[in-house]
Structure 1
Amino acid sequence: MPNDPMLRNAGAYPLWTEERIRFGDTDRLGHVNNAVYGTYLETARVELMQRLLRGPETYFVLARMSIDYLAEMQELGPIRIGTAITGIGRSSFTTGQGVFQGEMCSATGDGVVVLVDAATRRSTPLPADVRAALEELSLKK
């Protein structure tokens, strides 16, 4: 789903995370290295997960991630990562994300995040309050 055209629309995201392109994020060609996009998406995903966690008895793990690269980012400075929920399962949810420099969407990604019971280390159902919070962060159409 990362190539969903809705993920290229900044107005579709209810949650935003600020980040900066650093000199070390760039490669020999002078643009942001493709591996760094995973870090940008992770920064925003972790911010979302921190909003949802309630205690040490459960935690979230990333089960899958994909990224579509749309345009080069070359200038150092501020970027924004939009995050929205694109699906909710029994014990997992799917994030849709976009990396924006100014108005340009340079990449989109999606990830499946699973809630895990710390004692059993197995997936566990999403509690009703977490499910409700996720629904409020759904992708705006």
Structure 2
Amino acid sequence: MTDLTHLTPLDANALRTLGIPEPWPIGFADRVRFTELDPLGHVNNAAYLGWFENFRLQYMKTYGVPLTGRDALMVVLRQVQVDYLAEMKLDDDYVVTGRTTRLRNSSFQMEYAVWSGGALRTTSNAVLVMVNEDGKYPIPANLREIFKDRDGATDA
């Protein structure tokens, strides 16, 4: 993966070329940094949460979801679960993939995966909620359609 440009969106074709299987529609490549390590030289568990957050922001931008300005949609993390499958170390190249899988009225579920060296290293599930100053609000119809069309999301 040394030829990948870091934090550049990778479409489904690029992911398949890297050996990342369906159903992942989008991913971003990056490299483990020293600041992401624990005292044992492994990627710290908190770093993965940062990677998923960075992915989510890039994912939303790629899908045309406004995150700043007067039309910004406020999306908050309600719940996250992470399953660490194999260690990662300094300078490992990796790809974070993600997709929206389930839709409710004002919340949606995302799945993430981290791939490195041709292997699945970490998986995660998260529940996100659309909010404003008055509380929860419904996922906009156009965003629901994007999640369904691009990610294969289904109504819960």
TM-score, normalised by the number of residues in structure 2: 0.74
User: Percentage identity across aligned positions?
Assistant: 30
In structure 2, the partner of 1:34 is 45
In structure 2, the partner of 1:56 is 70
In structure 1, the partner of 2:32 is 21
How far apart, CA to CA, are the structure 2 residues paired with 1:52 and 1:90? 20
Q: Is 2:33–2:90's contact at 8 Å kept on the other side of the alignment?
A: no
In structure 1, the partner of 2:144 is 131
In structure 1, the partner of 2:5 is none
2:109 to 94, 119, 132: 94
Q: Name the aligned partner's letter for residue 16 of structure 1.
A: G
TM-score, normalised by the number of residues in structure 1: 0.82
Structure 2 runs not aligned, ≥5 long: 1-19
In structure 2, the partner of 1:105 is 120
Moved over 4 A (4+): none
Q: Name the aligned partner's letter for residue 116 of structure 1.
A: V
Stretch moving more, 76-85 or 88-97: 76-85
Q: Is 1:10–1:82's contact at 8 Å kept on the other side of the alignment?
A: no
Give the drift of 1:12: 2.0
What is the CA RMSD across the aligned residues, in angstroms? 2.0
Q: Is 2:100–2:108's contact at 8 Å kept on the other side of the alignment?
A: yes
In structure 2, the partner of 1:47 is 58
Q: Give the total of aligned pairs.
A: 130
Structure 1 runs not aligned, ≥5 long: 1-8
1:41-74, Cα deviation, whole Å (9 max, x unpaired): 1111111233352463531111111100000012
Specify the SS of the correspondent of 2:22: helix
